């Protein structure tokens, strides 16, 4: 069951990441020729601005690319890993947060324990990857040699 949720989270975030790359490239290419739109800039949620968790009807969800602060619309009961938050990428309901802990291996173990304590059903860390689910919140954690990446998708 968790593998199904993990696959769904990964697919959602890959699609979102691909779209964000295209959006950020598009923004860079067209900003030379056109003035910025009157809506808030893509980095405003990361800059600490307040955004609602659900966009207004007809509004575009906020997009964060290389932000440095936790998005305000993450589930309130979602624990986050220890370490410096170095990057946030995503859009409303789907984010990838990258942390730079002192020891990624022990950080992964500590984070999966924190998820379990918060009531998440955790699929153990195998080869540096763990997944968790609680209600409509899906989490996939990946350990790299220098970082811990937390992918969060809210259905």
Over its length of 155 residues, how does the chain's per-residue pLDDT go in tens digits?
Answer: 444 544 444 444 444 444 443 343 333 333 344 444 444 444 333 334 333 344 444 444 567 776 788 998 999 999 999 999 999 999 999 999 999 999 998 999 999 999 999 999 999 778 899 999 999 999 999 999 999 999 999 98
Q: Where in 8-136 does DSSP place strands (E)?
A: 63-67, 84-91, 94-100, 121-126, 129-134
For 59, residues 6+ apart whose C-beta sits below 8 A from its C-beta are 39
pLDDT at 81: 94
Both tokens assigned to 142: 């990946």
In b/e form, how buried is each residue of 111-137, taking b as 16+ CB within 10 angstroms? bbebbeeeebebbebeeebbbbbbeeb
pLDDT at 67: 79
Residue with tokens 């986050």: 80
pLDDT at 62: 64
For 114, phi and psi rounded to 5 degrees? -65, -40
pLDDT at 5: 47
DSSP state of 92: T
For 132, residues 6+ apart whose C-beta sits below 8 A from its C-beta are 2, 112, 115, 116, 120, 121, 122, 123, 138, 139, 140, 141
64 sits in the region (left: phi over 0; alpha: psi -120 to 50; else beta) called beta
């Amino acid at each position: 069951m968790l593998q199904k949720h993990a696959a769904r989270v990964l697919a959602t975030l890959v699609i979102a990441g691909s779209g964000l790359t295209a959006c950020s490239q598009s923004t860079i290419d067209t900003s030379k020729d056109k003035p910025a739109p009157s809506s808030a800039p893509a980095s405003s949620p990361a800059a600490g601005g307040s955004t609602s968790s659900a966009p207004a009807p007809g509004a575009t969800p906020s997009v964060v690319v290389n932000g440095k602060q936790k998005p305000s619309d993450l589930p309130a009961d979602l624990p986050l890993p220890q370490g410096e938050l170095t990057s946030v990428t995503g859009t409303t309901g789907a984010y990838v947060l990258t942390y730079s802990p002192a020891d990624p291996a022990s950080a992964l173990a500590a984070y999966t324990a924190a998820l379990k304590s918060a009531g998440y059903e955790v699929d153990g860390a195998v080869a540096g990857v763990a997944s968790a689910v609680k209600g409509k919140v899906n989490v996939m954690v990946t350990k790299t040699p220098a970082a811990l990446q937390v992918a969060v998708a809210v259905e």
